[in-house]
Amino acid sequence: RVRENKKRYGTSISSRPEIASLRLEEGHWEGDTVVGKRAGKEAVVFSLLEKKTETYLAFRIPGKTSEAVMNLMNTLHDEYGEHFSQVFKTITVDNGSEFADFAQVENWGSKVFFAHPYTSWERPQNERHNGLFRAFVPKGASIEGFTDEDILAAADELNGRPRKKLGYCTPEELFEDFLDAVYAA
């Protein structure tokens, strides 16, 4: 049973286009944060997963705050520039306080959707990849003990693994093909 959403940061996942769930086209993402030690204000990992290519992006951010998440999103927007809304057509996140300002991403042309509270199964691929990421950053280990490079290397390792469901291609290869198509258009 889906609980009634007390916090409404933006559009509900119920309104997300069906094509995002079916994984028929690139550009549909799921996002979340990976926490190390729960006590205190310390660094966390912000992860994004592209649903069709299964490309996993992981970034160390200074804290589990909406400011830290939006600073990272601004960096990604600067990196992709005018192609941002083609690379990030939709992004689905949970209702955590770190995503309080996330609806601002819609100003760049992307659509943002929020999962229902306590329903991690609405973003299953991201949750699964966060679990795979735990091989590099064990649960309960402080993220402070890992550098930005450590986090990026872990994501690169996951993206370099061939997958049967991807026709034995790697997520990295498929994402590069997607970016080539975006920039060629």
Q: CATH number for the domain including 76?
A: 3.30.420.10
Q: In which element (H, E) is residue 97 found?
A: none
pLDDT in tens, 110-140: 999 998 878 888 888 999 999 999 999 998 8
Q: Give this prediction's pTM.
A: 0.90
Q: Are 43 and 69 in contact (CB under 8 A)?
A: no
Domain membership of residue 124 (yes or no) is: yes
Nearest CA to 56 among 30, 19, 85, 34? 30
Q: Are 110 and 91 in contact (CB under 8 A)?
A: yes
Q: How many domains does the chain have?
A: 1
Domain membership of residue 8 (yes or no) is: no
Q: In which element (H, E) is residue 180 found?
A: helix 171-184
| Gap between the Cα atoms of 113 and 85, Å rounded | 14
Domain membership of residue 71 (yes or no) is: yes
pLDDT in tens, 82-98: 999 999 999 999 988 89
| Gap between the Cα atoms of 46 and 71, Å rounded | 11
